[in-house]
Structure 1
Amino acid sequence: MSKRLRKLILSCVLLAVAVLPARADINGGFRQWLANDLWPEARSRGVSERTFRSSFEGMRPNLDLPDLVIPGRKQDGPRKQHQAEFRSPAAYFAENTLGGVTAGGRARARNLGATLQRIERQYGVPGHIALAIWGRESAFGTAKIPHDAMQVLATKAFLAARKEMFREEVLAALEMIQKGLATRATMKSSWAGALGQPQFMPTSYLRYAVDGDGDGRADIWNSDADTLASIANYLAQKGWVRGRDWGFEVTVPASVSCALEGPDQGRRISDWAALGIARVGGKAFPPHETNAEAYLLMPAGRYGPAFIVTPNFYVLKAYNESDAYALFVGHAGDRIAYGDSRFAGGWQKTDALYRSEIASVQNALVKLGYDVGGADGLPGFKTRRSIGHWQAKNDLSPTCFPDRSLVSRLK
């Protein structure tokens, strides 16, 4: 055996010796937390001891989940972005992904026509929008959703940065089991704890899941009709405006600042048009939209397509707090209903930044008095337009999007 190999084996043994007690401590702390912290609150909410014990029997926290704060583990270094919705816009709108949702949505529109019409009459949400969400969330129920939801939710309630949020979710999941709405075995989830074909968190299931096929239960795991009705009910309760579109791709002249973006800077569509903003392809805005309020959306700043969006866009965003997600769903829904058409504006290549790098830009802007909406490492509209204002103030051409040069300038 070589000296190098002996050293490697010794280092692995020492690492194992160091890690095992740490994991044992975490497992012990997890069991204590379940018994002394979570159980009293679950009991106060009507969860029986039998339900509680069976829901966590033999469970250890899953330390391989992302976004955990684990005692003894260094948290330094760049924070990666695990959610596709907040990575490169160009990658998110890849044609193979859009095409899959579009083709799958059209096929199901033909097969589920009567169901979709009934749902649209009841909730006011177009069927093609519900189909697009279904396709994006779970590939129409065909995506593998491998995780034990109770383990995911309990682990995150114990170890995640957002403990309180996941605490509510694991308590809601216990309520679902207590009421016979699901079992631990059937509650498979994503790594974030989202359930079923519409990928509802447990609190959303309790609030928005509905029976769409008339069998008396809301089965978002196995029923297409229940899945679609639940999605539509969610959007309706979040404020979907019946009869309005979600938005339109536009061209924005250089004379119009990209910093005018945001749902708090609304104008009538006719006022946007008066500034020189025009719908792509020479199309006119629909007459029923002209005098209604709408908002400028530039999700990649000057590096991508621009849009005038309605309040319904922000209802879509409530489903997943991401401009890219809402835009994907609206665009895919249009393609399902009206035929394939790509964005007229292209997504230019942008620098791949860590969340920690974007957060450093946000913190620097906050120190200069800008409102970035929170230094979370996600380039939302407040961050984008603050970048645009800072660039203009410093005699730079406003792009309204973070890049590596901006990281360097704002150190």
Structure 2
Amino acid sequence: MLVLVLGCFASARPASAARIDDQFRAWLANDLWPEAKAKGISQTTFNAAFDGVTPNLELPGLVMPGEKPKVPKAQHQAEFGAPGAYFSEKTMGAVTAGGRARAGKYAATLAAIEKRYGVPGSVVLAIWGRETGFGRVKLPYDAFTVLGTKAFMSNRKAMFRTELLAALEMVQRGLAPVGAMKSSWAGALGQPQFMPTSFLKHAVDGDGDGRADIWNSAPDALASIASYLAHYGWQRGRDWGFEVTVPANVSCALEGPDRGREISRWERMGIARVSGKPFPSHEAGREGFLLMPAGRLGPAFIATPNFYVLKDYNMSDLYALFIGHAADRIAYGDSRFSHGWQKVDRLYRSDIAAMQRALEKKGYDVGSADGLPGFKTRRSIGDWQARNGRAATCFPDKELVRALR
């Protein structure tokens, strides 16, 4: 019989929270524990992980027991806000300056990483800086509280259950003690912000001490980031992408990783680098993809497959673009986007989700009616606008939401 050592529950918690605490403890004992045990987790490890843990009801994305998931009105992650706001010079400048300052300090480590994984040091530094300010950001959450809460009562319970079991495996295998399992509000761990499954797959020893410590070792964090990117297909020697101008006669609806063509073909269509330089000769005959994160309301790019490897790190076009741009600035010097980000209408996720459902009913593939304007939604908007005699912007606005109701 499993005896859960969960500590004392605060008497000040409201009655509704206390009921959830009871349901959570029952779920741990009767639902999660049997699966954890079958996967080789000991009772000692399990009890230590959940000692004193109660659900954190302040976390985003939760679904109260007995309720159905809903598309939230607001989005907590910066990656899903107004595109231009994501590239504030304060944030970009801090990552750029911090990356340059550390490029010399970790030169030997970064050179060894690039030789092994093919990932440039500037890219690794940009991710390190964006994720945790080069390791300076303190992670305030207990991973088992976050992952336990979300596996029990979030709108992505299955995903977080997998991550929770992986976190237990980390402790069981001696890869990290329970007390070191500090995370973000989403359960991401250490300086690279790896989810537990990513730690098990990609964390490596970069400093030669025989263990992968992504919390305290900068070389381990840097090497683990490169290991991750290499696993997802980083192509050695290729750029991530180029800012370009897109003529009015080239549809913004041509965007997307499934609509690639040789970069030389994009060039023949009139797409040109904003620098005025030709595309590098080693890129011209290789596949590139049109990328317009704000449609016609922001800068445009021809991205390479490496852009989508960066996107695998955090499933956001804006995130991947930030990393690529910051890496260029670390490596080559400060330079801002040539085309600015125009102001866009502030919309709730629920508004965008309603628009997406309306487009789906008309036969468009928006990817998912999740309230997030990804590339499939953006190009569906552009197609609908063009077919209805409107200027194709490929980005949602209030008027479009009203028109598609």
With normalisation by structure 1, the TM-score equals: 0.94
Residue 77 of structure 1: how far off its partner (Å): 8.8
1:405 aligned to which of 383, 399, 402 = 399
Unaligned runs of 5+ in 2: 1-12
For residue 254 of structure 1, what is the aligned residue in structure 2? 248
Residues 322-361 of structure 1 aligned to structure 2 (within 5 Å): 322-361=316-355
Query: What is the Cα deviation at residue 76 of structure 1?
Result: 7.0
Match of 1:167 in 2: 161
Per the TM alignment, residue 20 of structure 1 is displaced from its structure 2 partner at its CA by 2.6
Partners of 1:340 and 1:187 in 2: CA distance: 36
Which digits, 9 at most, give the CA deviation of each residue in 1:317-342, with x for residues without a partner? 00000000000000000000000000
Name the CA distance, whole Å, in 2 between partners of 1:386 and 1:231.
34
Question: SS of 1:131's equivalent?
Answer: helix
**Correspondence for 2:270:** 276
Aligned partner (choices 195, 209, 215) of residue 201 of structure 1: 195
Instruction: Name the CA shift for 1:354/1:22 in 2 (closer, same or farther; >3 Å).
Output: same
CA deviations over 1:284-309 (Å, ceiling 9, x no partner): 11010000010000000000000000
Letter of the structure 1 residue corresponding to residue 138 of structure 2? K
Q: Displacement, 1:352?
A: 1.1
Change in CA separation of 1:72 and 1:165 when aligned onto 2, cut-off 3 Å: closer
Deviation of 1:78 after TM superposition, in Å, equals 5.3
- Cα distance change, pair 306–383 in 1 and its aligned pair in 2 (3 A): same
Deviation at 1:24, TM superposition (A): 1.6
Is 2:101 aligned against 1:103? Answer: no
Distance 2:34 2:199 in 1: 23
Change (3 A) 1:75 1:374: closer
| Structure 1 contact 22–72 (Cα < 8 Å) conserved | no
1:116 equivalent to 2:101? Answer no
Distance (Å, rounded) in 1 between the aligned partners of 2:272 and 2:231? 32
3-state SS of 1:215 partner: coil
Q: Which amino acid aligns with 2:137?
A: A
What do residues 167-210 of structure 1 show as CA deviations (whole Å, max 9, x unaligned)? 00000000001111112211111110000000000000000000
1:330-367: CA deviations, max 9, x gaps?
A: 00000000000000010000011111111011000000
CA contact (8 A) 1:101 1:135 kept: yes
Distance 1:208 1:32 in 2: 33
2:78 matches 1:56:
no
Compute the displacement of 1:73 (Å). 7.4
Is this contact kept in 1: 2:71–2:370, CA < 8 A? no
**Number of equivalences:** 394
Give, in whole Å, the separation in 1 of the partners of 2:299 and 2:269. 17
User: How many angstroms apart in 2 are the aligned matches of 1:75 and 1:312?
Assistant: 34
Task: Write out aligned runs for 1:305-324 (5 A).
Answer: 305-324=299-318
How well do the aligned residues superpose, as a CA RMSD in angstroms?
1.4
* Runs of 4+ deviating beyond 6 Å: 72-77
The amino acid of 1:180's aligned partner reads G
Equivalent pair of 1:244/1:289 in contact (CA under 8 Å)? yes
Instruction: State the match for 1:35 in structure 2.
Output: 29
Alignment of 1:230-309 (within 5 A): 230-309=224-303
Q: Equivalents in 2 of 1:231, 1:76: separation in Å?
A: 33
Q: Is the 8 A contact 1:109 1:128 kept in 2?
A: yes
Unmatched runs of 5 consecutive residues or more in structure 1: 1-18
TM-score by length of 2: 0.95
Q: Distance in 2 between matches of 1:120 and 1:167?
A: 34
Alpha carbons 1:148, 1:184 under 8 Å: kept: no
